[in-house]
Amino acid sequence: MAATFLLVGGEAYEWQGVAPEQREFQHTSVEFIGSAYTSLRAAGVPRDRIITVVQLNDYLSTIARGEKGEMAAITGIPAKWYAEQRERTEGRCRLLIDEGGATYDNGDVNPATVWSILLGEAIPGTARPVVPPLETGPIVFGIYSHGDCHPAGDGTAASEWFAHFPYESSRSDIYEYVATQGAEGAGVGKNRPHNYLYATQLRLIFHQILQRTPDRPIIGLLNYCLSGGNLEFMRRDSVRQHLQVDKWPLFLMSSSQAKQESMVAGMWEAWFQQLKEGILNGAPGMTIGDLFLATESAYYQENLYEFLNAVKARVYVPLVWQCKFSFPGKADDSVDPWHLDLQGALQRTIPQPGTQFSFDAVRELQRAYGSGEAYSIVRKASLLQWEALRRVGGAARDGQTGHVVVWMYGDITPDHLRGMQATPLPVQLVEYSGTSETGRCQDLASVVQLAVDQIARPDEVHGHESGIAKMALSTLFGKL
């Protein structure tokens, strides 16, 4: 039986559900839904098996008003910026637009629409498609939005996690089992519960689907801040015993942990790209579990800058920081060798599919810096020597002493230093907090581990007894 795909683009009411003149210039999800749709179509998924819920026309209509100059007096944004934004958005959503636009748009972008589509409930007043309720083919859905949580408000320490939607739910009955009272007075963006799709509601949706069709695979990607909180029910002993979730053929993914903000693109682009390649290439035996691991590795590589910045915010190299290194074709002091060395080490730290973070590369980097292998010093270099090193790139000169610091992991080699008064130059790594140094870095690996614990990390849960993680893509999707 063929798979059904659902792509959902959310947004906060305060940013995109208000009057056009009050809306944010940039929409979070529209372009990402467009790119995911393009990936699915490229993989061979038929148009009639993809349902989209996103403010495509709604947003483009707003942008069109700005392009005509109708909102500049209020927003202060010139018409040409709106025109450029329209071109970018239409470019990313070109195929979706050409093939009829969003299935559900404008006011239909609300939690009740998602509830009805997933449960296969006909939406009153429309003949638009929903997930066929009696089919047994896989349901694959992705939600790209903003996310948050608020206290459950039931006297416990529990939280209710949710994704934002620009429009209020058209149904109140779907909130009967959600502790929405905790949203009241919780602050801006946390006081409109009927604009939220809650983790509790998703759990009820999964339960109803699997009561009706127990063996139907469900694969979900939740791409928004704090989305990991939506996975927690699968780990609670009480829920596992009561609902037997370990037997559910459910594979649920999040773009970050329960208390962590997601990156802008999150794992959305990486997952749909890996899914497309997995289907097209027909990788022998590639499973849903393998797909997640490949996505996780690709995600870390594509978002290395977050990991890199998290480490650089804690450790620097004073001697290197004080130098203004010269590189051909670059402005002096525009290239930081420490940045490049750390970046390379972190790239080797990122886990390959099926492995864990390995800190051998950062330990080796710290050893090399401390031993003098990474840098050399040419004392009282002549101007001729300095110019020769500068032309190669990766050297910095002290104008007062004439000494030249040379980065040995760049293009300069020991041969370039022959005949010069060059000796190894040990350099220290120093930790800092804010603007104050806190002491010599004794263990760079520990600092990197701390950064790993604090950056956004993809996560997944699945019904272990169901075998969902070991289901091959070829079995789930066949020949599309």
Provide, rounded to the nearest whole percent, the portion of the chain with pLDDT above 90: 87
CATH of domain 4-302+456-477: 3.40.50.1460
pTM of the complete model? 0.91
**pLDDT tens per residue across span 145-178:** 999 999 987 777 789 999 999 999 999 999 999 9
DSSP 39-74: HHHHTT--GGGEEEE--HHHHHHHHHHHHTTSSHHH
DSSP E strand boundaries for 345-417: 375-378, 395-397, 404-407
Give the strands of the sheet with 159-164, arranged side by side. 147-151, 159-164, 196-198
pLDDT confidence of residue 456: 93
User: Under a CB-based contact definition with an 8 Å cutoff, are residues 288 and 251 in contact?
Assistant: yes
pLDDT confidence of residue 207: 97
Residue type, 368: A
pLDDT confidence of residue 188: 44
44 to 37, 38, 274: CA distances (angstroms): 11, 10, 14
DSSP 319-347: HHHH---B-TTS-TT---HHHHHHHHHHH
User: Under a CB-based contact definition with an 8 Å cutoff, are residues 30 and 93 in contact?
Assistant: yes
What is the C-alpha separation between 192 and 106, in angstroms, rounded?
A: 18
Where do the domains of the chain lie? 4-302+456-477, 307-453
pLDDT confidence of residue 223: 97
DSSP-assigned letter for residue 411: S
**pLDDT tens per residue across span 120-130:** 998 877 789 99
What is the helix (H) or strand (E) element at residue 254, kind and residue range?
Answer: strand 250-254
Q: Which of 181, 174, 137, 135 lies closest to 159, judged by CA?
A: 181
What is the C-alpha separation between 185 and 247, in angstroms, rounded?
A: 39
